[in-house]
Amino acid sequence: KAGVTQTPRYLIKTRGQQVTLSCSPISGHRSVSWYQQTPGQGLQFLFEYFSETQRNKGNFPGRFSGRQFSNSRSEMNVSTLELGDSALYLCASSQAPGQYTDTQYFGPGTRLTVL
């Protein structure tokens, strides 16, 4: 079974631009979570989607948004990029929320650099 895929793997943008990252979950998984990882802050939860609905949201500004499609693929968007948005963005998929089905598997991540 194919793992979680993320595109693009690397991205360089300038301040003020916007960016869209894509995540395709493991086949059969309907829950997708997004995390931001920086050396100083560790893995920070952005949001979680299940069946096209946002179930949870982390403490990030409204510039960070996401969505999930009917095939469970998910995208996240960051508008008006700031230097501090430079990070590794990780997507993780699980079968569904709840005990025993919530084990998350991570994609390789998208490395975003904001200049």
Partner 1 sequence: QKEVEQNSGPLSVPEGAIASLNCTYSDRGSQSFFWYRQYSGKSPELIMSIYSNGDKEDGRFTAQLNKASQYVSLLIRDSQPSDSATYLCAVSLKTSYDKVIFGPGTSLSVIP
Q: How many CB atoms lie within 10 A of CB 25?
A: 27
Please state the length of the chain: 115
Residues 6+ apart with CB under 8 A from 47: 33, 34, 54, 56, 57, 58, 60, 64, 66, 76
Nearer to partner 1, 92 or 114 (CB): 92
CB of 88 to partner 1, least distance (A): 8
Residues near partner 1 (CB under 8 A) are: 33, 35, 42-43, 45, 48, 55-56, 88, 90, 92, 97-100, 102-109
How far is Cα 106 from Cα 84, in angstroms, rounded to an integer?
Answer: 23
Nearer to partner 1, 79 or 104 (CB): 104
CB of 64 to partner 1, least distance (A): 16
Residues 6+ apart with CB under 8 A from 56: 33, 45, 47, 48
CB of 115 to partner 1, least distance (A): 20
Nearer to partner 1, 84 or 98 (CB): 98
How far is Cα 35 from Cα 115, in angstroms, rounded to an integer?
Answer: 21
Nearer to partner 1, 27 or 56 (CB): 56
CB of 52 to partner 1, least distance (A): 16
